[in-house]
Structure 1
Amino acid sequence: MAIEQELQLDYRLNEHVILIPAGPDHAAMLETTVFQPNGPGPFPLLIINHGKDPGAPGAQPRDRFYHMAHAFVERGYVVIVPMREGYANSTGKFADHGCDMTANGYGQAKDILDALNYAREQPWVDAQHIVIAGQSYGGLATIALGTQPLPGVKALLNFAGGLKDQTEGCDWKDELVSAYANYGASAKIPSLWMYGANDSLFGPELSTRMYQAYTLAGGQGKLVEYPAFKRDSHGMLASRDGEQVWLPETEEFLKQAGMPTKLLYDVPGPPQPPKTDYAQVDNVDAVPFLTDNGRRAYREYLGKLTPRAFAVSPTGAWTWAEEGEDPESRALNTCNAKSSKPCKLYSIDDYVVWNGDKLDAADKAALTASVSTVSKPGADKGAVGGGSIAPTGN
């Protein structure tokens, strides 16, 4: 099985992880990622709220929304991404209200409010200039939170907000429409809604129904229905290429809300290995160490979406990663977990970065057996796949 390990903190964005007290008597602690510009602040604040992956919430990795955080830090914001109770390394209990979508939104909003109240008290936060955003389940919770008086919060951003429940007897679509109508009746803050044409969970018909229910009930919002994005627009916000979709609309909306949007800092992105002249990226036979199964995997990798990365090891282990955050580190981490020798990146996006030696015929003949497996997490996280040579004893 592919194993994705924790990504390294990015010092360029002063990324660090804190614990925020939440829940009854503040007995729970929310694992929260913080990104911020250099200096003491105070800075305007963006809170980004995550969705829910399939499976147990505790198995969900820490969300970072790195690309959105990067764009906002460059504009002088501090960004926090709290993992709600029961998710990732947060303590407390995940609140599940089944098919009651209205209650689900309100339940998750409690943790967001705790994170907001904590942030307001920090000297590095400008408590009068706050934006709250959410993706998927986090979008539903963000709109639910907007029913409360939130001093200093100028805008809400809803990216593909909703929750799908396929439990027998659950009419989850109608439940979502009812939930947004409920929130709209008490809404107090302007909101921007962004849904893509090929969203696998909340397509145009449903997103329009939800938005209309919200605004007809009294909610103030703007709906942006953008064209199809890659294979599934539901993961647009987590994609490196999603910025060209969400940023222009978001900047315009925030200007109208009285929030800053001017670029203040030039924060470099993570360094990339340089391109080499080892081979063309589509030259499958040039990739070192791979057996026939590995070469089939590399051909499959060439059809993956960018950003993407492919890693190999002298043991014959290989891994690809596509989309999501930092596919280079994800590919290396997963490959190293399979291999007794260090892995190296072979290619990134559409070019080769390998700078090692080519294998001769004897080397290739020594690699004859291959075992491979593929694991694909949710679309908003990116995908990863890998395999390795069957291990031998020493």
Structure 2
Amino acid sequence: MKHAALLILLMLATSSEIARADEPLSAVLNESVIKLPVTVKTIFNQVITKEMVVTQFKPNGEGPFPIAILMHGRSYKDRSKPGRERFLQATKYFVNRGFAVWVPTRLGYGDSGTEPDPEYSGTCSGKNYLAAYEVAATTTLDVMAYAKQQSYVDPGRIVVLGQSYGGMTAITVAAKNPAGLIAAINFAGGGGGNPETQPNEPCRPDLLKELFGLYGKTAKVPSLWIYTENDKYFGPVYPKQWFAEFQKLSSASQLAEYRAMPAFGDNGHFYFSRGFSTWRPVVDDFLRRQGIAIPHTPGSFQDSGFANINEPASLPVSSAELRERYVKFLELDVPRAFVLDAAGEFGGYAGGMPDALEKALAICQKRAQKECLAYAVDDKVVWKKMSSSEKQD
């Protein structure tokens, strides 16, 4: 306990505020950057102490805000880019749900420095995943300890989310059950993948399966696992095996949830960074079940069954321009609204704000010079099929 307290005091005393001149900080998201001293041990038992770049964001107000820690993956090409991770779309998602957010650029990446590489896990045939993920988990727990000391947070409500290498790191952290952790979200988690030289065949998937099983023995918090059917790093089969092993050995298997998403783009491994419009409702549902309030449009709106909300072709319009606007609408966070005039000739949309419906209606009515009605609100199509007389009126 004395060592842990000393570590926290050291982090608070030596964490220095920094900013990059070439990357303006977001005032809307109250963005700031610190350098956090961390110590890790490599697979070769080399002890490394360095400063890690961590970007932090928070909602307006005094809190207390729950904590979200977002973790990046591992490039097999150039670990120096980006210099500083921000995950702006995902960060906005969490800030809009009342979270204070921390995004570490771990040791071995970007401005934190690429050499030495603490997360190196060995050759393809001789992987030591256990030790490598211990490094990533250690730095994540250091960020968590620092975040807990901030006056504006709720240290009892923490969510960790990661992509690829960061996704498995989220499960590694979950297996340690740190105080305050309420959920872990794993997007395409794993390691050893290379879509160019060995598509769908990561290095030593058997060791990854074994490690996920080991984590399943101790993890006690709800976890959400999201993979796509065309992930060229890990393929569609291995992730399901990893999850099955995690569940098989878990005493809390009912807390883990696997979502196999359809093929996405040319490589579903990048679903987290490019598929916000379809993963957002999935993560919303998961977080809601963990007691996190999800923003929504005030009022009572029922799904009319008119169409699937993700199908622009179902819009009751002939205008290609309106369909293009609808595609943009689908990328917006909730609360959101898309509205049309009765003839389907004019429309408007807005999102990511409590008064999205009012703003969308005002945009449409200004163009149409007549009454406009909601087509979609949040994640529901509320439009009803109209008769010819209603359209004429």
Same fold (TM over 0.5): yes
Deviation at 1:245, TM superposition (A): 1.9
Partner of 2:100: 78
**What SS does the aligned partner of 2:110 have?**
coil
How many equivalent pairs are there? 261
Give the alignment of 1:271-290 within 5 angstroms.
none
Partner of 1:230: 265
Q: Does the CA contact (< 8 Å) of 2:228 and 2:268 recur in 1?
A: yes
Please give the root-mean-square deviation of Cα atoms over the aligned residues, in Å.
Answer: 2.8
Deviation at 1:28, TM superposition (A): 2.1
Structure 2 Cα separation of the partners of residues 104 and 189 of structure 1: 22
Deviation at 1:179, TM superposition (A): 1.4
Structure 2 Cα separation of the partners of residues 131 and 140 of structure 1: 14
Structure 2 Cα separation of the partners of residues 246 and 65 of structure 1: 15
Q: Does the CA contact (< 8 Å) of 2:38 and 2:142 recur in 1?
A: yes
**What SS does the aligned partner of 1:204 have?**
coil
Deviation at 1:174, TM superposition (A): 1.4
Deviation at 1:33, TM superposition (A): 1.3
Q: Does the CA contact (< 8 Å) of 1:35 and 1:80 recur in 2?
A: yes
Partner of 1:157: 185
Structure 1 Cα separation of the partners of residues 267 and 27 of structure 2: 31
**What SS does the aligned partner of 1:12 have?**
coil
What amino acid is aligned across from residue 252 of structure 1 in structure 2?
Answer: D
TM-score (norm 2): 0.61
Structure 1 Cα separation of the partners of residues 183 and 272 of structure 2: 17
Partner of 1:300: none
1:260 aligns with 2:293: yes
Q: Does the CA contact (< 8 Å) of 1:195 and 1:203 recur in 2?
A: no
Partner of 2:121: 97
Deviations 1:128-165 (A, max 9, x none): 11100000000111111111131111000000001125
Q: Percent identity?
A: 33
**What SS does the aligned partner of 2:284 have?**
helix
Q: Does the CA contact (< 8 Å) of 2:33 and 2:54 recur in 1?
A: yes
Give the alignment of 1:1-394 within 5 angstroms.
7-23=23-39, 27-90=49-112, 93-95=116-118, 96-98=120-122, 99-164=127-192, 171-218=203-250, 219=253, 220-239=255-274, 242-262=275-295
Structure 1 Cα separation of the partners of residues 217 and 286 of structure 2: 22
What amino acid is aligned across from residue 259 of structure 1 in structure 2?
Answer: I
Structure 2 Cα separation of the partners of residues 179 and 11 of structure 1: 41
Gaps in structure 1 of 5+ consecutive residues: 265-305, 308-394
What amino acid is aligned across from residue 226 of structure 1 in structure 2?
Answer: M
Q: 1:6 to 1:209 in 2, by over 3 A?
A: farther
Structure 1 Cα separation of the partners of residues 284 and 33 of structure 2: 27
Deviations 1:1-26 (A, max 9, x none): xxxx9543222212221122211599
Q: Does the CA contact (< 8 Å) of 1:101 and 1:172 recur in 2?
A: no
**What SS does the aligned partner of 2:190 have?**
coil
Q: 1:228 to 1:6 in 2, by over 3 A?
A: farther
Deviations 1:46-73 (A, max 9, x none): 1000001123534543221111111111
Q: Does the CA contact (< 8 Å) of 2:161 and 2:170 recur in 1?
A: yes
Q: Does the CA contact (< 8 Å) of 1:76 and 1:263 recur in 2?
A: no
Partner of 1:366: none
Q: Does the CA contact (< 8 Å) of 1:66 and 1:238 recur in 2?
A: no
Q: 1:12 to 1:193 in 2, by over 3 A?
A: same
**What SS does the aligned partner of 1:208 have?**
helix
**What SS does the aligned partner of 2:182 have?**
strand
Higher mean C-alpha deviation, range 22-31 or range 71-80: 22-31
Q: Does the CA contact (< 8 Å) of 2:193 and 2:233 recur in 1?
A: no
Structure 1 Cα separation of the partners of residues 145 and 182 of structure 2: 15
**What SS does the aligned partner of 1:158 have?**
strand
Higher mean C-alpha deviation, range 187-196 or range 97-106: 97-106
Structure 2 Cα separation of the partners of residues 94 and 125 of structure 1: 32
Q: Does the CA contact (< 8 Å) of 1:129 and 1:153 recur in 2?
A: yes
TM-score (norm 1): 0.61
Deviation at 1:119, TM superposition (A): 0.5
Structure 2 Cα separation of the partners of residues 46 and 6 of structure 1: 26
Partner of 1:351: none
Q: Does the CA contact (< 8 Å) of 1:23 and 1:114 recur in 2?
A: no
**What SS does the aligned partner of 2:146 have?**
helix
Deviations 1:214-255 (A, max 9, x none): 11110541000111112222112112xx22222111111112
Deviations 1:343-379 (A, max 9, x none): xxxxxxxxxxxxxxxxxxxxxxxxxxxxxxxxxxxxx
